[in-house]
Amino acid sequence: MSETVKLIYRDKCIELPLIEGAEGELAIDIGKLRQKTGLITFDPGYANTGSCQSAITFMDGERGILRYRGYSIEELAEKSIFTETAYLLIHGALPTRRELNHFSVLLNDNSLIHEDMQAFFQNFPRASHPMGILASMVTALRSFYPAYSITNEEELNLIVARLMSKIRTMAAMSYKISKGHKVIYPRPDLTYCANFLNMMFDNPVKPYRIDDTLVEALNVFWVLHADHEQNCSTSTVRMVGSGKVNIYAAISAGISALWGPLHGGANQSVIEMLMDIQKNGGDVQKAVMRAKDKNDPFRLMGFGHRVYKTYDPRAKIMKRMCDKVLRKLKISDPLLDIALKLEEIALQDSYFIDHNLYPNVDFYSGIVLRAMGIPTNMFTVMFAIGRLPGWIAQWKESLDDPKWRLSRPRQIYIGNTVQKYIPIDEREVAGQS
């Protein structure tokens, strides 16, 4: 008999079962609440609400723990590569060498996009944000690849490879076309990350020299971003997918959800914030004061997290990657100095300590991307490419879940009670319509 909690409401007293997770976390199963009491729960932003049971990613926000399928993010960032981590998230186990080689062949074989899709890029205004282009292009994939079923492993592998490989090609192609440069095609002899860098920066008169440190940094960057349990964009993919729409539409919805500056768009906002501070003479104290001022909408971008109430474990790794990449390229970035100063001051300030505000994954990630030469307006696209395997894994898990059903939250209505329709000529009070 599972443990229960008692809910006493007016003349009713009901027992609700407790659900326990693999790491001991507990939840009240309110699946029968409305049926038994007529009550619903109210939790804006879902800060206290579990939407599903998942075996993909475990986070402990108090202890700063992040694991994909039980493997720590620290170990995967150090020992794995992005395609292997993607396979782990989606299939639930680390691939054998044969499985990884097969996955790499599928990624290569599906790395081109239909030539007709190139015309789409030509018709976006040049100043279009790459996230808007990416969301549109991923939805458009449905028009070129209509039929699929994920009932068998091979079909699923094809869908995964098609999405993962083409999103990378489309991102690089969008950049080249936005610059008026020649589009560089994927190469069969390059790894996933090296191929992306080459498609972004190679050109006919100045061949791109692939730097192993940047390839390693990109692998780490995408491993760190690959999944993060039920964040805003992943919950969006699950919500949209629950209507049984095709995977391209569900992933495109996730891209749009990620775009926001409070979520994946924060990596772009962090760099813009650091550049503003630099422009204003590097006055870090002023930025910290503004972040604490309730009358000032300014927030310290890259700080704070709904789940982590300590240092985001990904931010620690990203911070180390900054040093490694800048040292290898023999460059220094004044924005990194500003970021380090911001962190030092904030982490000694009672406001940030009391509010449990620490650097999150976005605080240092932009510095690494800048060092690679990625334009700021593509930072969230880089996040999306990394998060794609997580979205796919969560989408598939939701469809395989026997308890999964169409997502449709309830509400507490606070509008008008019943109104009588008034013919227009009798509406004397202005604005009554």
Which residues contact ligand SDX by CB under 6 A? 228, 231, 262-264, 266, 291, 299-307, 355, 357, 360-362
How far, in Å, are 364, 389, 424 from residue 227 at the CA level? 18, 7, 54
Q: Give bridge partners of residue 9 from the DSSP assignment.
A: 12
> Cα–Cα distance between 398 and 367 in angstroms, integer?
35
**Taking the complex as a whole, how short is the minimal distance between the CB of residue 410 and ligand SDX, in angstroms?**
21
Burial class from Cβ neighbours inside 10 Å (0-12, 13-18, 19+) for residue 393 reads buried
Task: Copy the structure tokens of residue 349.
Answer: 């300030």
Which one, 195 or 360, has the nearer CB to ligand SDX?
360
Tokens of 328: 């290898």
For residue 399 the two structure tokens come to 């469809």
Least distance to ligand SDX from the beta carbon of 151, Å? 29
Would you state the structure tokens that stand for residue 380, as one six-digit string? 């969230």
Instruction: For the CB of residue 51, give the shortest distance to ligand SDX in the complex, in Å.
Output: 13
Smallest distance from the beta carbon of 313 to ligand SDX, in angstroms? 11
CA distance 312 to 365: 12
Residue nearest ligand SDX, Cβ-based: 304
Give least dist CB 259 to ligand SDX, A. 11
Annotated catalytic residue, options 202, 312, 333, 362: 362
Query: From the CB of 295, what's the least distance to ligand SDX, in Å?
Result: 12
Residues 6+ apart with CB under 8 A from 373: 200, 201
Long-range contacts of 69-78 (CB under 8 A, 24+ apart): 69/93, 73/223, 73/224, 73/313, 73/314, 73/317, 74/313, 74/317, 76/223, 77/220, 77/223, 77/224, 77/317
202, 228, 305, 312: the catalytic one is: 305
Min separation Cβ 209 and ligand SDX, Å: 32
What is the spatial distance between Cα 398 and Cα 394, in angstroms, rounded to a whole number? 6
- Residue 283 catalytic? no
- In the complex with ligand SDX, which residue's Cβ is closer, 233 or 252? 233
Beta carbon nearer to ligand SDX, 9 or 42: 42
The strand pairing partners of 5, in sequence order, are: 16
Compute the C-alpha angle 90/92/94, nearest 5°: 100
Q: Are the C-beta atoms of residues 177 and 183 closer than 8 Å to each other?
A: yes
Cα–Cα distance list, 201 to 330, 352, 362, 385 (Å): 19, 40, 24, 17
For 127, which DSSP code? T
**Residue 289 corresponds to which tokens in the numbers above?**
């004061």
CB of 355 to ligand SDX, least distance (A): 4
Q: Is 227 a catalytic residue?
A: no
No. of helices (H) and no. of strands (E), the chain: 18, 6
Which of 186, 254 has the CB closer to ligand SDX?
Answer: 254
Between 109 and 293, whose beta carbon lies closer to ligand SDX? 293
What's the burial of 146, exposed, middle or buried (CB within 10 Å: 0-12/13-18/19+)?
exposed
Q: So which residues are the catalytic ones?
A: 305, 362
